[in-house]
Amino acid sequence: MLDANLLRNDLDAVAARLAERGYTLDRVRYQELDQRRRAALQEAEALKAERNRVSEEVGRLKRAKENADHLIAQQREVGDQLKALEAAEREIEAAFKDFLAGIPNPPHASVPSGRDEHANVEIKRWGQIPSIDAAKDHVELGTTLGILDLDRAAKISGARFSVLKGQGAKLERALISFMLDRQTGAGYTEVIPPYLVNAESMYGTGQLPKFEQDLFKTPHGDGALYLIPTAEVPVTNLYRDEILAAESLPLRHCAFTPCFRSEAGSYGKDTKGIIRQHQFHKVELVTFAAAEQAEAELERLTADAEAILEALGLPYRRMLLCTGDMGFSSQKTYDLEVWLPSQNTYREISSCSWFGDFQARRANIRARGKEGKPAFVNTLNGSGLAVGRTWVAILENYQQPDGSIRVPEVLQPYVGAAVIR
């Protein structure tokens, strides 16, 4: 959530930065709500002062054994006015909070301006693109090998689900173990979080209220729980409404979870295969940092995700997203894109984002600084990596002329084989 003081102190600058994201700030609505909040606060302060004055006068009259009935009646009237005003204040604050909740995070100064992915900037490339004649896609490879079954998945659940079998399932499990081993070795503390979370958790990381249509929701008691779209949600909310010790920062976690996304509005995109599914596996990296540590943490977190691709020998590139292509909550994002021979292009496999204090402000996550005053932390996260897309990249980049798949050397101890036939 945006700091309300930024709007109050420099409305024009904030509006200009948001415009770079293609977001038009409703200045009229902001000024109306801000004025109502200020007016209610001033009125409440005046009524409290009046209540205190009357209370003192009542006390003086009673001590003097004089009649104070008329002031006691006035005291009740002021009290009733305060109650009504407090109810109005809550209504105004709720409206103001809803207004702020719909504003995206302003981009960091280092983010290039642009309307869409065409303005993204390539930062680096790594790896040798394999030379494969008539490259097959992962669907043909997996189906022929008998390790991928999309038809039976559709029978069970519908479109955008998959069944992995035999060595295909073992390769998925191997990737999960390998990624977790590497990231815990890099200093991340592993977490196994809940896969169903409450609305407060979704709000804390920015999925609610704006992206509710993209979530799977299930009734629970008198309310509802949401299936997580990424481990970012439960892991970030581990520390919701808490004050962390400054010396504990940066605090780094990794988590493997299934992820569930309705993919509302994405129909027609990547419908073939397992690139875009309703259910998939991911290893997520989440970091909590002090403001002065955060930019360096983004570089570190991104490098930790890249290290997985390099260990697997998968060609990739790092892209700095422009203002118009970033996620709602992010102020700076790197996308890692892996090479897919069947498509003759790079496709996203990890998104590494720095949120500033945008999420921490929503989730009320703070750390006590050197002077003892709590301040909102910065949060960061990234895929380390999306397991299904890594599975796809291995099949396609390591395919052999006979249709078999060479297993990357670092995975062979996990898979128990050098080739999938």
- Annotated binding-site residues for L-serine read 230-232, 284, 383
374-376 vs 365-368, strand pairing mode: antiparallel
Radius of gyration of the chain (CA): 27
3-state secondary structure at position 170: helix
Assess whether 348 carries a catalytic annotation: yes
Candidates 51, 173, 240, 276; catalytic one: 276
Binding-site residues, in ranges, read: 230-232, 261-263, 284, 348-351, 383
Give the Cα separation of 331 and 327 in Å (integer).
8
- Judge whether 342 counts as a catalytic residue: no
Determine the residue type at 421: R
Q: How many Cβ atoms sit within 10 Å of the Cβ of residue 399?
A: 23
In the sheet that holds 251-260, the strands lie side by side as 121-126, 316-320, 332-340, 345-354, 378-386, 279-289, 251-260, 189-190
Examine the residue annotation and report whether 38 is marked as an active-site residue of this protein: no
**Binding site as annotated, residues for ATP:** 261-263, 348-351
Choice among 261, 300, 318, 362 that is catalytic: 261
The answer, yes or no, to whether the previous bond of 413 is cis (omega within 30 of 0) is no
276: annotated active-site residue? yes
Q: Decide if 240 is catalytic.
A: no
343-375 in b/e burial notation, b at 16+ Cβ within 10 A? eeebbebbbbbbbbbbbbbbbebbbeeeeeeeb
Q: Indicate which residue of 297, 351, 362, 396 is catalytic.
A: 351
Q: Which of 36, 348, 404, 406 is catalytic?
A: 348
The tokens describing 21, both together, are: 């994201």
Residues with catalytic annotation?
Answer: 261, 276, 348, 351, 389
